[in-house]
Amino acid sequence: MKKMLIRMAVWLALLTLLNGCGGSGEEVAKSAATPTPAPSNKITILGSTTLLPVAQKAVDAFHKRKPEIKITLTGGGSLAGINGLVDGYADIALASREMKEEEKAKMKLKRGAPAKETIVAWDGIIPIIHPSNPVKNLTIAQLKDIFTGKITDWAQVGGKKGEIIVVSRDITSGTHEAWAELVLNNQPVASSAQEKSSSSAVLEMVARSPQAIGYDGIGYVEGDNRVKRVTVEGKAATAASILDKSYKIARPLYLFTRDNPSTAVVEFTNFMVGPEGQALVKEANYVPLSQQP
d(C-alpha 267, C-alpha 144), whole Å: 41
Q: How many CA atoms lie within 13 A of 291 on its CB side?
A: 19
d(C-alpha 54, C-alpha 272), whole Å: 9
CB 67 within 8 A of CB 290: no
pLDDT tens string 193-239: 999 999 999 999 999 999 999 999 999 998 899 999 999 999 999 99
> Beta-carbon neighbour count of residue 201 at 10 Å?
18
Whether this model's pTM surpasses 0.85: no
Provide the pLDDT for residue 17. 35
Q: Could you say which DSSP state residue 1 is in?
A: -
Contacts of 137 (CB under 8 A, 6+ apart): 230, 231, 232, 233, 234
Domain range 42-122+251-291, CATH class:
alpha beta
**pLDDT at residue 19 tops 80:** no
d(C-alpha 217, C-alpha 50), whole Å: 6
DSSP-assigned beta bridge partners for residue 275: none
- Residue 291: pLDDT band (50, 70, 90) is low
Stronger pLDDT, 9 or 62, i.e. the higher one? 62
How many residues are recorded in the chain?
293
Instruction: Give CATH superfamily name and number for 124-250.
Output: Periplasmic binding protein-like II (3.40.190.10)
Domain ranges in the chain?
A: 42-122+251-291, 124-250
Q: Residue 49 carries which side chain, given as an amino acid letter?
A: T
d(C-alpha 240, C-alpha 53), whole Å: 21
The yes-or-no answer to whether 42-122+251-291 and 124-250 have a common fold is yes
> Beta-carbon neighbour count of residue 197 at 10 Å?
15
